[in-house]
Amino acid sequence: MTPVRTVPTADLDAAERAALRDLLDLAFDGGFADEDWDHALGGLHLTVHEGGRPIAHAAVVQRRLLLDGRTLRCGYVEAVAVHPGHRRRGLGGAVMAAAERVVDRAHHLGALSASDDGLALYRARGWRLWDGPTAVLAPSGVTLTPEDDGSVFTWGLSGGGSGPLVCDWRDGDVW
């Protein structure tokens, strides 16, 4: 079994933080913004290392989701990435399995927004596409996010719901 480390952001030193950011910049081929990095901080980092460097990463951060009048403590999965030279070896699956364990033990549900690259991984692991509308609790009130419909996945959402599934507000991509 691939050994996966679980480290809170607060326990990463400057060099470890920099190495994770380097991995994410490389894995997303320059498409990983400062706001995306910000979204990955404050919770837990699940990582696989080789040769003293991280080669796979996922973060779980806590967010609030609203659904049909319920407020749900969500383990939101961010910054899932595997070094381009180490893909299709099960490392993405290994960090996701660790993230799912965190969600199962600490949150009402999991959620994430999938990139095109990530879709097959999440589907294969049993994440469920949220097929209702998505929205955000913006400063001006609940606002639909149709551009995110069809890319939000949930994990362990009991009882379903008709939606919209509403996330809390933040800078950058809200989902």
The piece of 35-43, 64-72, 117-125, 129-137 that touches ligand COA (CB under 6 A) is 117-125
> CA torsion angle for 88, 92, 93, 96 (degrees, to 10)?
-170
Closest approach of ligand COA to the CB of residue 4, in Å:
12
- Which 76-105 residues touch ligand COA, going by CB under 6 A? 80-82, 87-93
Would you count residue 44 as binding ligand COA (CB under 6 A)? no
The pair of three-digit structure tokens given for residue 18, joined into one six-digit string: 């920099």
Burial profile 87-110: b = 16 or more Cβ within 10 angstroms, e = fewer: eeeebbbbbbbbbbebbeeebbbb
Contact present, 44 and 76 (Cβ < 8 Å): no
The answer to whether the Cα torsion of 19, 20, 25, 26 is positive or negative is positive
Would you count residue 115 as binding ligand COA (CB under 6 A)? yes
The piece of 5-13, 47-55, 116-124, 140-148 that touches ligand COA (CB under 6 A) is 116-124
Kindly tell me which of 10 and 88 has the beta carbon lying closer to ligand COA: 88
Would you count residue 161 as binding ligand COA (CB under 6 A)? no
Kindly tell me which of 14 and 21 has the beta carbon lying closer to ligand COA: 21
The alpha-carbon radius of gyration of the chain (Å, integer) is 16
The piece of 102-110, 119-127, 134-142, 153-161 that touches ligand COA (CB under 6 A) is 119-127
Contact present, 162 and 68 (Cβ < 8 Å): yes
Kindly tell me which of 91 and 98 has the beta carbon lying closer to ligand COA: 91
